[in-house]
Amino acid sequence: MRQIRRHVGQEVWTRLVLAVVTTRLDYCNSLLAGLLDSTLEPLQQVQNCTARLILNLRQRDYVTVTPAPQQLHWLPIQARIQNY
């Protein structure tokens, strides 16, 4: 997906990433209620990676990953599940 980024604008890029990734994270997430945090951790990592893609951060920018979803006004995976 990073290769597509240089060919489209920021708004198109953001919508594309949100359409492909975050809709999959939200799909049937009520089935994930009650699972252990260790089971949900890979989904949280996907969300963090998505935030890095949208904000154009490097993988080594691990310090900025925590505020990245907050900057995008995203709830953590655990909170997304509990809200349904």
Taking residues 34-59, report their average pLDDT: 86
Give mean pLDDT, residues 44-69.
Answer: 76
Helices (H) and strands (E) in the chain, counts: 6, 0
Confidence band, pLDDT 50/70/90 cuts, at residue 83 = low
Residue 54 CA to its chain's centroid (Å): 9
**Quick one: DSSP state of residue 13?**
H
39: left (phi over 0), alpha (psi -120 to 50) or beta: alpha
What does the pLDDT read at residue 61? Answer: 66
